[in-house]
Chains A and B, each alone.
Chain A
C-alpha cells in the first residue's frame, strides 16, 4: 500500500517536472530567433527539362502560347543554385519544439495547368490549401503511403471551386501529387516536423525560428535524394549549411 503511495508521489513529481520542462522549452522556442541559412547547388550539367505537350487541353495550350512549359523536376538557377530543395531539422529539436505548428496556411495552386509551387513543404497537422486559378477542371490526387499513416484521396476541382483545406497526419518525405486529367501535372507535398524551408531560384534558404542547439539538417530533392549536415546554432544567431548535389 505504502509503496503505491510512493509510486504515486514519484509520478506526480515527475509529471510536474515534465510540465515545467514543457513550459520552459515552450517559452524558449517562443523566443527562438536563431536560424540556419545556406545555399544548395547542383554540381555538373543540369539535365534537360523536356517541353510539355498540352494538346489534350486547348485551355492549357493557350496559357503557354508565349512561354512554353517545361517539366520542373530539376530547376537550376544561374550559378548552379538548385530550386525546390526542402530543408528541415531531422534531429536536435525537443518534442515540444518539433510539434509546434505554424498557423499560416501554405497554398498549392493549380495555375496554367502547372503546380505552383512544384514542391510544397509543411508541418504535420499544419493546415494547407489546394487552390485552382485555372478555367479548366483539375483533379487533385495525392498518393501518400497509406500504411505509414497518411491516406490517399482524389478530388475534382472545377473552375471557380473553393480551395480544399486539409492537412497530413504524419511525417512523409515526400507525397507525390498528380492530376489524372493532365498527366504532366506532377508535384510533391513534403510533410515534416519543426521549422523548415524550401530553396528559391538561387538555391538559397533560411530555416528561421530555431532555439540555440545542435541540429541535423536534412536537404531533400525529388531527383537527387537526401543529404544531411550537423549545424550548431548559438542563441539568436545564424548557423550555415551549404549543400551540393551531384548531377547524375
Chain B
C-alpha cells in the first residue's frame, strides 16, 4: 500500500513536471493576448479601445490586411502595393523620425485619408470613435507597441511667406540633396535611379511623379509635404532628410515642389515669371573628392 502511494505520488509529480511548462506557456500567450487586446489609442481627448474595433476590422479591413494583421488577406494577391503588415509596424505616413513608431494620430489620419495610388481606401465616413478604436486594433497586432514608444514628432516651424527667392533656394536644395536622382529633374519620377527602386520586400516601386497632380499618400498640405521628406516613407526607398535639410530650407523646398505640380498655385505663377528651368543633373556637383 505504502509503496503504491509513493509510486503514485512519483508519477503524479512527474506528470505535473511534464505538463507545467505547457500550462505556463499557454498561460503566457493567453496573458499576452489579453494584454494586447487591452491596447488603447489616444487621439486628443479621444480614447480608442482595440476590442471595440474587432467587428469593424472583420467587416472592412480583413480582406486585405488579414486575420493576423500580416497583410495576407484573401485579396492581397491582387493588390499592389501590398497591404500593410501590421505585425512589423513599419509605416509610411509618420510625423516621427525614420525607424520609429508613428503616433496614434498619424495612424488615425492615414485611416481617414486612405493611401492614394494604392488599394487602401479612404475611411472618412467612419466616426472618430470608430477610427480611434481601429488605431488601437491595428496596434494590437505588433509586439513592438509593448516594448517601444512612438518617436518624438518632428517640429514644423510656422510657414513663411512664399517669395521668388525662396523658390529659387528651394530648387537649389532639390539639386543639392539630389531628389532628382529618383524623382527626375522635372519631377516626373524618371531620375537615373528610378528604374531600379525596390521596397523593403524587394518589390519594384516607383518614385512619386509630381507632374501627374496625384495626391501624395501622406497628405497634400504644405505641412504634409514638409513632413514627408523630413521623416521619409519607411519601408520604401524614400529616405529621411531630417539630418540634412534645415527647417528654413525645408520650407523653400516645399515651395519649389509646388512648381513641379500641374495644379495652379502662387508658386507656379512666380516660377513662370522667373522663367525657372528644371535643374540639370550635369550641373550637379561632380568634382573629385577633396583628398
- Using Cβ atoms and an 8 Å threshold, which residues of chain B touch A135? 285-289
* Chain A, interface residues (CB within 8 Å), range: 20 to 34
- Using Cβ atoms and an 8 Å threshold, which residues of chain B touch A183? 193, 196, 198
Given contacts A62-B288, A181-B182, contact A143 B100 (CB under 8 A): no
A158 to B243, CA, bound (A): 10
> Is the pair A133, B289 in contact by a Cβ cutoff of 8 Å?
yes
> Is the pair B192, A56 in contact by a Cβ cutoff of 8 Å?
yes
- Using Cβ atoms and an 8 Å threshold, which residues of chain A touch B288? 62, 135
- Using Cβ atoms and an 8 Å threshold, which residues of chain A touch B240? 153-156
Given contacts A56-B192, A134-B289, A135-B287, contact A154 B237 (CB under 8 A): yes
Query: Does B128 count as interface, using CB distance less than 8 angstroms?
Result: no
Minimum Cβ distance to chain A for residue B100 (Å):
7
- Using Cβ atoms and an 8 Å threshold, which residues of chain B touch A228? none
> Is the pair A154, B238 in contact by a Cβ cutoff of 8 Å?
yes
B contact face: mostly helix, strand, loop, or mixed: loop
- Using Cβ atoms and an 8 Å threshold, which residues of chain A touch B198? 180, 183
Given contacts A62-B288, A146-B144, A156-B241, contact A137 B181 (CB under 8 A): yes
User: Which B residue sits closest to A154, measured CB to CB?
Assistant: B239
> Is the pair A155, B98 in contact by a Cβ cutoff of 8 Å?
yes
> Is the pair A141, B239 in contact by a Cβ cutoff of 8 Å?
yes
Query: Does B176 count as interface, using CB distance less than 8 angstroms?
Result: yes
User: Which B residue sits closest to A166, measured CB to CB?
Assistant: B99
> Is the pair B192, A157 in contact by a Cβ cutoff of 8 Å?
no
The tally of residues in B whose CB lies under 8 Å from a CB in A reads: 39
Total cross-chain contacts (CB, 8 A): 101
A151 to B148, CA, bound (A): 10
- Using Cβ atoms and an 8 Å threshold, which residues of chain B touch A236? none
Q: Which of A56, A58, A133, A156 contacts B244 (CB 8 A)?
A: A156
Given contacts A133-B289, A134-B289, A152-B234, contact A158 B176 (CB under 8 A): yes
Query: Does A159 count as interface, using CB distance less than 8 angstroms?
Result: yes
Q: Which of A62, A139, A147 contacts B286 (CB 8 A)?
A: A62
- Using Cβ atoms and an 8 Å threshold, which residues of chain B touch A137? 177-178, 181
A143 to B99, CA, bound (A): 10
Interface centre among A62, A63, A147, A161 (most CB of B within 10 A): A147
> Is the pair A139, B239 in contact by a Cβ cutoff of 8 Å?
yes
> Is the pair A180, B234 in contact by a Cβ cutoff of 8 Å?
no
Residue-wise interface mask of B (63-103) relative to A, using a CB-CB cutoff of 8 A (1 in contact, 0 not): 00000000000000000000000011110000000111000
Q: Which of B98, B148, B193, B287 contacts A181 (CB 8 A)?
A: B193
Minimum Cβ distance to chain A for residue B208 (Å):
14
A residues 149-177 in Cβ contact with B at 8 Å: 151-159, 161-162, 164
> Is the pair B286, A153 in contact by a Cβ cutoff of 8 Å?
no
Q: Which of A63, A151, A159 contacts B99 (CB 8 A)?
A: A151
Minimum Cβ distance to chain B for residue A136 (Å):
7
Query: Does A57 count as interface, using CB distance less than 8 angstroms?
Result: yes
Which of A's residues lie within 8 Å of B, judged by CB? Answer: 56-59, 62-63, 133-137, 139-141, 143, 146-147, 151-159, 161-162, 164, 180-183
Which of B's residues lie within 8 Å of A, judged by CB? Answer: 87-90, 98-100, 143-144, 148, 176-178, 181-182, 192-193, 196-198, 200, 232, 234-244, 282, 285-289
- A–B pairs, 27, beta carbons within 8 Å: A56-B192, A56-B196, A62-B286, A135-B288, A136-B285, A143-B200, A146-B88, A146-B89, A151-B100, A152-B200, A153-B98, A153-B234, A154-B99, A154-B234, A154-B240, A155-B240, A155-B242, A156-B177, A156-B240, A156-B243, A156-B244, A158-B178, A161-B244, A180-B237, A181-B178, A181-B193, A183-B198
